[in-house]
């Protein structure tokens, strides 16, 4: 009976942690959206009052104005990120303690990056007597050791911890079409879901997988 109770408690704790880490990014995004919406709402309402339109009597026009301004601001920010203006803005905050670290951590969650900054989900040979581990490569820059690259093995069910290893490129295989979010689902499932189930693909033999050498050659 005591073992059953302990098992239930452990499962309950793990499920609770999984729920927390699943909802945190959604909650953070919603908080930012609602905060921006509230500020834009004030600006649009003030503008309509200025030109003699009562927002309360023109609810549809007010909502459309807020949505249009909100989308426009997001588009402008997205455009500026690709320009030198973003570089100059970042340089102003660069010397603030912790800014660069926070920026890099946030950048990890942008799994749509390409090239040298793309987050790769990889199979890594060498951490057990037989078999492979699933890990992440946050950068594809060569390590201080020639032909070695930094890979991360995350912990489960708390994926924000883990271990860094320098692995020879011959022991790294890229899991195609897998991104950071897929790996997060795999970790939070605690192995209940395989990475193949998360990706909704059939298991492949090692010969069918792309080696890091091949991936680097394409880039």
Beta carbons of 104 and 139 less than 8 angstroms apart: no
More confident residue, 47 or 179: 179
- Residue 47 in this model has a pLDDT that exceeds 80: no
- Residue 21 in this model has a pLDDT that exceeds 70: no
Which of 42-46, 86-90, 114-118 tops mean pLDDT? 42-46
- Residue 115 in this model has a pLDDT that exceeds 60: no
Of the listed ranges 4-13, 77-86, 96-105, the least confidently predicted one is 96-105
Task: State the Cα–Cα distance between residues 33 and 55, nearest whole angstrom.
Answer: 21
Q: What residues does each domain of the chain span? A: 2-93, 113-218
Beta carbons of 156 and 139 less than 8 angstroms apart: no
Task: State the Cα–Cα distance between residues 93 and 49, nearest whole angstrom.
Answer: 36
Three-class SS of residue 125? strand
Q: Residue 159: its pLDDT value, please?
A: 63
Average pLDDT across the chain, whole number? 76
Beta carbons of 172 and 211 less than 8 angstroms apart: yes
| pLDDT band (50, 70, 90) for residue 216 | confident
- CA 130 to mean position of chain CA atoms: 30
- Residue 172 in this model has a pLDDT that exceeds 90: yes
Residue 198: C-alpha distances to residues 103, 177, 202 (Å): 28, 11, 11
Residues 140-168, mean pLDDT to the nearest whole number: 84
Quote the tokens at residue 74: 């997001």
- Residue 180 in this model has a pLDDT that exceeds 90: no
Q: Residue 56: its pLDDT value, please?
A: 63
What is 162-185 written as a DSSP string? Answer: EEEEEEEGGGEEE-TT--HHHHHH
With a CB cutoff of 8 Å and minimum separation 6, the contacts of 25 are 109
With a CB cutoff of 8 Å and minimum separation 6, the contacts of 126 are 167, 171
- Residue 25 in this model has a pLDDT that exceeds 70: no
Q: Residue 173: its pLDDT value, please?
A: 93
Q: Residue 111: its pLDDT value, please?
A: 45
């Amino acid at each position: 009976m005591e073992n059953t109770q302990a098992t239930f408690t452990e499962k309950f704790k793990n499920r609770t942690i999984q729920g927390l880490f699943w909802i945190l990014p959604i909650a953070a995004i919603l908080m930012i959206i609602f905060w921006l919406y509230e500020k834009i709402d004030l600006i649009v309402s003030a503008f309509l009052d200025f030109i003699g339109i009562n927002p309360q009597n023109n609810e549809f026009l007010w909502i459309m104005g807020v949505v249009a301004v909100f989308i426009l601001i997001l588009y402008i920010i997205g455009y500026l990120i690709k320009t030198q203006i973003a570089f100059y803005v970042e340089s102003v905050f660069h010397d603030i303690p912790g800014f660069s670290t926070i920026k890099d951590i946030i950048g990890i969650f942008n799994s749509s990056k390409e090239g040298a900054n793309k987050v790769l989900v990889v199979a890594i040979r060498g951490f057990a007597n037989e078999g492979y581990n699933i890990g992440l490569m946050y950068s594809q820059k060569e390590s201080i050791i020639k032909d070695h690259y930094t890979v991360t093995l995350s912990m489960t069910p708390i994926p924000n911890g883990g271990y860094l290893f320098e692995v020879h490129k011959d022991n790294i295989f890229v899991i195609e079409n897998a991104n950071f979010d897929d790996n997060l689902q795999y970790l939070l499932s605690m192995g209940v879901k395989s990475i193949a189930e998360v990706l909704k693909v059939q298991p492949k033999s090692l010969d069918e997988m792309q080696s890091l050498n091949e991936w680097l050659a394409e880039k």
